[in-house]
Amino acid sequence: MIREGAVIAERSNDIQNNHGQVINSQIQEMMTECNLSWQQIDAICVLNGPGSYTGLRISLATAKGLCYAQSIPLILLNKLDLIYHSAPNIHDTNICSIIKARENEFFAAIYSADGHQILPYSLLSKEDLLKEVEAHEAVLCVEDETYKAEFEQCTHVNVSFNDIISLCNTYFIEGNVADLLHSEPFYLKNVYINKINKL
């Protein structure tokens, strides 16, 4: 939770398969801890992808439910935008933000030195990604340091709470809020469902 640009409460959960079980109780814990009512909440911000199907579905469904029930604006953050805004010297060069999607596939977007997106959100093979980076003379920026094993040259970006707060505040001030009715997780790839045959 954020108040006047500072984190006043936070919760995390490292267990992969129980987010849906704990997210609402953790939110209520923070509300109680900070002695807040829903009437004091100006907006709810959620990271909306690209990413895994289950994680995005749970987080957005929770955020939308609260926003509908309490008439609160919803702000959606894109992870590729967040990496770009967190990158050092973003005004000096073109930046390519990437997130690994699957083996040899990456979510990517390229931003110009003046902040405009010159390659829209894309799902690219490693080969095509490197071609785009070369064509746009972009610096490859990653949040996960393990990507350095796959790319000869890339810049590690540490996305901090301050970076998230800054982007949330910018969107809120600009009135960049989501349409609750039509908001949906931004997967950027097809969802694969494993079918189990029952005898």
Structure tokens at 108: 């990517």
Query: Looking at the domain 88-156, which fold is it?
Result: Nucleotidyltransferase; domain 5 (3.30.420)
Q: What is the pLDDT of residue 103?
A: 87
Same fold? 2-78+160-174, 88-156: yes
What is the per-residue pLDDT across 132-175, written as a single tens digit (0 to 9) for each? 999 999 999 999 888 888 898 899 999 998 899 999 999 999 99
The CA distances from residue 89 to 21, 62, 85, 144, 193, in Å, are 40, 35, 10, 19, 41
Where do the structural domains in the chain lie, given as residue ranges? 2-78+160-174, 88-156
Query: Looking at the domain 2-78+160-174, which fold is it?
Result: Nucleotidyltransferase; domain 5 (3.30.420)
- Rounded Cα gap, residues 55 and 177, in angstroms: 21
Quick one: pLDDT band at residue 97, thresholds 50, 70, 90? very high
